Amino acid sequence: MTPEVQGRWARVLVRALVVVAAGVMALGFLGPEAALLVSFLTVLTYVLLWLRTRYAGLLFTDERSRDGSVHREGPHDPPRGPEPRRPPDDD
């Protein structure tokens, strides 16, 4: 096995252990229904994080810019947030 495959299996094993541990703790503190819910939500979190890392590049590869023109040379920079607030002038 290559180191990449071994690392993948190690991550899967650790994540499975985290799911089981969260379920057992919820079972001890809250009961069986809560344990199932906690385990399901933990697995769902891992799946959503995996999907985000897998498809995050597709979010910023739109060929249309803000003004409607089409860029063909490649993906553009991701949109930026608002400008930060400036301190008031002391006049």
Instruction: Write down the pLDDT at residue 48.
Output: 92
∠ CA(28), CA(15), CA(10), 5° rounding?
135
Indicate the Cα dihedral angle 68, 71, 72, 73, nearest 10°: -170
pLDDT, residue 43, reads 95
Per-10-residue mean pLDDT of the chain, 91 residues long, equals 86 94 95 95 93 77 56 59 77 62
pLDDT for res 42: 95
pTM of the predicted protein model: 0.58
